[in-house]
Homo-oligomer: A and B are copies of this chain.
Amino acid sequence: MTFSMRSSAGYLTNHLARLFASGLQARIRPLGLSTGVFPVMLQLWDRDGLTQKELVDRLGIEQATVANTLARMERDGLIERRGDAEDGRVKRTWLTDQGRALRDPAIAAADAENSDALSGLTEAERAQLLTLLNKAIATFGTR
């Protein structure tokens, strides 16, 4: 029985994800951001005051992971968390001014990382890759 890493989608996806993460990390670190924080910030830049549950639902990351990430973000001054007046269980997450100010440079960094990473592909290939990644992700939803 043989197994080739070059023809394993799982292996290649993991490898590429690590390369992406390290590239993005280098770009956003000067901003005081990190890769785990980035997806949360994207949500909050889009809309503030989300509950932890809402973030979990939007991000596809486990609740415990989100809780820990939010704690680091609060420690680092990116967000503030305040309880909800209506429901005592809920904590809503608000960007600090510092966190809000990072939006444009951070998104520019991510765009740059994406285009550099795909600079070896033609425009058609890039589009095809996005399509296939989305398709594979969707396949996981149906099992």
Contact = CB atoms under 8 A, between A and B. Distances in A.
B103 A120 contact: no
A71 interface: no
Contacts of A128: 128, 132
Contact of A136 (B61, B108, B121, B142): B121
A11 B23 contact: no
* Oligomeric state, in copies: 2
Overall SS of chain A's interface: helix
Contact of A118 (B18, B61, B139): B139
B136 A132 contact: no
A20 to B, nearest CB: 4
12 contacts: A1-B104, A1-B107, A9-B118, A10-B24, A12-B134, A13-B17, A14-B21, A118-B139, A120-B135, A120-B138, A120-B139, A129-B133
